[in-house]
Amino acid sequence: MQGQLVYIRPLAIGDSEALHALRNRNRSFFEPFEPIRPASYFTLEQQRAMIEWSIKAAGEDQSYVFGVFLQETAGLIGRIELSGIARGPFQNANLGYFMDQAHNGRGYMSEAIALVLQYAFLVLRLHRIQAGVMPRNFPSIRVLTKAGFRYEGLAKKYLQINGIWEDHALYAITVEDYTERTAASNEVSDHKFS
């Protein structure tokens, strides 16, 4: 799926080295926001195994993992994932993402989230996407609210992050929110250029 600044596509085995380099280059930057990882997690073999798992999980409609690639260079600069897919009456997925520190603050992840929401609602036909973020992670909260996610509440001691049980602010967007937002955006665009 193509944006103006970035494009997203499912990660493939051929992306293993780029993902390995991205994870290792940002190891200390990501550490405060992730579970404690064993040293083996940062090996090329483990990154390849995770991509293999993600391909299988997509085939089973459990999870969809995309690389975020810069349009200008086609370089891998982040990852975005829809996980924990629940069908039946829920039709929900969890959103998770990370971006190379060198590319933060340029609107790349905002565009990647817009692309993944389009995929989630129009292709996968999900009803709701949710995301949990530590309340002190202001940049991530900004990205979510910019994408149309609404705050739904605080989950106390929700996930163990970097060895500590952390509270998480829960955000969500439904297909109705997305459709309304997209229609409003199109009306503004049509008005500007008519």
Mean pLDDT split into 10-residue runs, the chain, 194 residues? 97 98 97 95 98 98 98 97 98 98 96 98 98 96 96 97 96 97 70 36
CB burial of residue 160 (10 Å; 0-12, 13-18, 19+): exposed
Q: What is the pLDDT of residue 182?
A: 87
Locate the domains of the chain by residue range: 6-193
The secondary structure of 148-178 as a DSSP string is T-EEEEEEEEEEEETTEEEEEEEEEEEHHHH
Structure tokens at 19: 């993902």
Position of tokens 């629940």? 86
Q: What is the pLDDT of residue 141?
A: 97
Cα separation values, 161 from 31, 36, 167, Å: 8, 7, 10
Q: What is the pLDDT of residue 101?
A: 97
CB 163 within 8 A of CB 36: yes
Q: Please say whether the structural domain 6-193 has been given the CATH code 3.40.630.30.
A: yes
